[in-house]
């Protein structure tokens, strides 16, 4: 994890700064950005991290693209990804359901959809045991991860299995 401090003279206090945690796939960068009149935070992030213009930014677990400074907030968590949407394919028993999420959506949010009436409509007992797991993996996806972290390659699709296996006892 890298920390990028605001530019300026050493020891000079900034009136207001915003701490930005930027997650791009497996990389997390921390930025400390001085707030200036008319600044566009996404452009500051692009410049400081030297990220291409085709990178989309979302506030963590929000659907809309992130564009502006979060007024009055001192900390913001942002997810950068080349995909504007992730097509999630959830397989369960002999069926597959599809849904589109922003890459900033958490695995927990996707799991809630998968067990709901919009997904596989699991009863509450089964839903409480449910997890999403990558095909062939031995552990479920961490619920706090964002979906974009697990989308690799040039496509914007993530295939997962819905499992009711108990992972608490190893």
Domains in the chain: boundaries: 2-81, 86-163
Taking the C-alpha atoms of residue 47 and residue 80, their distance in angstroms, rounded to an integer, is: 13
For the entire predicted model, the pTM comes to 0.83
Q: Do domains 2-81 and 86-163 have the same CATH topology?
A: yes
Pick the CATH number of 2-81 from 1.25.40, 2.150.10, 3.10.20, 1.10.3470: 3.10.20
Dihedral angle sign, alpha carbons of residues 69, 2, 49, 150: negative
**Residue 143 has which token pair?**
């619920």
pLDDT in tens, 66-106: 876 666 788 999 999 999 999 999 999 999 999 999 999 99
Taking the C-alpha atoms of residue 148 and residue 125, their distance in angstroms, rounded to an integer, is: 29
* 3-class state of residue 77 by DSSP: strand
CATH tag, 86-163: 3.10.20.90
Higher pLDDT, 107 or 15: 107
Higher pLDDT, 150 or 8: 150
pLDDT in tens, 98-157: 999 999 999 999 999 999 999 999 999 999 999 999 999 999 999 999 999 999 866 899
């Amino acid at each position: 994890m890298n920390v990028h401090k605001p530019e300026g003279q050493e020891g000079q206090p900034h009136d207001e700064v915003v701490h930005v945690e930027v997650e791009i796939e497996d990389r997390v960068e921390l930025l400390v950005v001085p707030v200036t009149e008319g600044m566009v935070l996404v452009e500051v992030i692009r410049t400081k991290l030297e990220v291409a213009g085709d990178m989309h930014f979302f506030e963590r677990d929000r659907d809309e693209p992130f564009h502006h400074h979060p007024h009055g907030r001192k900390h913001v968590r942002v997810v950068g990804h080349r995909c504007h949407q992730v097509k999630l394919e959830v397989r369960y028993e002999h069926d597959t359901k599809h849904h589109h999420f922003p890459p900033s959506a958490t695995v927990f949010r996707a799991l809630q959809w998968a067990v709901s009436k919009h997904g596989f409509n699991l009863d509450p007992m089964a839903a409480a045991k449910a997890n999403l797991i990558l095909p062939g993996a031995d552990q479920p996806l961490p619920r706090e991860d964002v979906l974009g972290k697990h989308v690799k390659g040039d496509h914007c699709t993530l295939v997962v299995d819905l499992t009711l296996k108990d992972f608490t006892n190893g």
